[in-house]
Amino acid sequence: MRVLALNCGSSSVKSALIDTALGRRVQELHVEVVAGADFQAAVAELLVTYRTSAPIEAVAHRVVHGGEKFVEPTRLDDAVLSEIEQLNHLAPLHNPPALAAIRRARSVLPDAPHFAVFDTAFHATLPDHAREYALPADVRQRFGIRRFGFHGINHSHVAQSVSAHLQIDVTKLRIISCHLGNGASVTAIEQGRSVDTSMGMTPLEGLVMGTRAGDVDPGVLLQLRRAGHLDADELDELLNKRSGLKGLAGTNDMREIERRASAGDQDCALAIAVYVHRIRKYIGAYAASMGGVDVIAFTAGVGEHSALIRRRCLERLEFIGALLDVTRNEAVKLTSDQPVAILNVSASKVQLLAVRADEELAIAQAAAAALS
């Protein structure tokens, strides 16, 4: 089946026409939407290009937040779109552009079935002890406060890719998936199910990210509110856009941070140290919570391309049987034909892998499966 996958960010659209039977791209396009531009117009222009090149049998849309209701790929109609729109406050940077793209795509391709695939859906299996915050029940229920998790489409893709590469049923594996991009999260996957993940109700919790702070003592926020006189919008802007690697090093480009650190920049050296410490801490925690780990996988922009970060993240993990092969780690070059690379020495008890992220392929295959 030929499925058009639309992966909308807050200012860009990644897209690919996927032959789901072969698991290969027929065509792909990427559109940057500059500030103030018409998002729907950009999507419409992209769709016209696809319409003139190949038949489209279905359209799959990545939607970041599905709330508690949407935990499976869902066929889209006006009623479903209205329900998704009610979740915009949970993902204000991502859900609205996705909805705009969906509406334009449905108008341009009215005869094709359209499906939404949700980033939060994979984490619907979180057990109560990993899902709930230690807040009073009436507060949690009144405001809908709970942990949702994100990057689920890619974490699920990583689990399936690892299973296929090792030729071991995913239900027999304990996997720690490290999605390290500008946004970053770690997920514990046991028997093919997400059992814990570093992001929470919003994408702010967890790892140090490109511009997000990750885990912060809530008392810091209270202090900034009271003594610093920051209101909610100012705190939002601080935590989402001016923190993380950017706050520590002045830039969120890991390549630049590595270059400056190697030249002696102490702020960049600190940024790397804080970044990898947080990742390593989560890896250790998830190995403990699952009673061990069979696979540690690195994926997304930094996870796939930075040998330094992979090496630093795996330091001092020999006690769980994770032994890195430095030469293999330095030689990683992932492609669509070689989407998985081995990082460990043969004596390692834990398989260490780099896995190519491919959200477009994942959502296309999910839509095709739902349609069939």
Domain CATH number, residue 24:
3.30.420.40
Active site residues: 119
Q: Which of 76, 103, 118 is the last residue of a domain?
A: 118
Half-sphere exposure of 11 (CA within 13 A, CB side): 3
Q: Note whether 108 and 173 are same-domain residues.
A: no
89-147 residue pLDDT tens: 888 878 888 898 899 899 988 999 999 999 999 999 999 999 999 999 999 999 999 99
Query: Is there a contact between 309 and 276 (Cβ–Cβ < 8 Å)?
Result: yes
Write the Ramachandran bin of 144: left for phi over 0, alpha for psi from -120 to 50, otherwise beta. left
Tally the domains of the chain: 2
Give the torsion sign (CA, 254, 260, 264, 268).
negative
Assess if residue 257 is contained within a domain: yes
Domain range for 92: 2-118
Question: Looking at the predicted structure, is the pLDDT value of residue 42 above 70?
Answer: yes
Range of weakest confidence among 7-16, 235-244, 255-264: 7-16
Q: What is the pLDDT of residue 38?
A: 66
Rounded mean pLDDT of 188-193?
A: 97
Q: Note whether 172 and 303 are same-domain residues.
A: yes
3-state SS, one letter per residue, for 289-313: HCCCCCEEEEEHHHHHHCHHHHHHH
Question: Looking at the predicted structure, is the pLDDT value of residue 46 above 90?
Answer: no
Residue 351 binned pLDDT confidence (cut-offs 50, 70, 90): very high
Question: Looking at the predicted structure, is the pLDDT value of residue 356 above 70?
Answer: yes
Residue 365 binned pLDDT confidence (cut-offs 50, 70, 90): very high
Placement of tokens 């034909």 in the chain: 337
Question: Looking at the predicted structure, is the pLDDT value of residue 73 above 70?
Answer: yes
Range of weakest confidence among 19-33, 118-132, 231-245: 19-33
Assess if residue 176 is contained within a domain: yes
Q: Note whether 172 and 316 are same-domain residues.
A: yes
Assess if residue 249 is contained within a domain: yes
Asked whether the whole model's pTM tops 0.85, one would answer: yes
Q: Note whether 180 and 268 are same-domain residues.
A: yes
Q: What is the pLDDT of residue 44?
A: 80
Q: Note whether 334 and 254 are same-domain residues.
A: yes
Q: Note whether 339 and 234 are same-domain residues.
A: yes
Q: Which of 99, 118, 137 is the last residue of a domain?
A: 118
Q: At 342, phi and psi to the nearest 5?
A: -85, 135
Q: Note whether 313 and 182 are same-domain residues.
A: yes
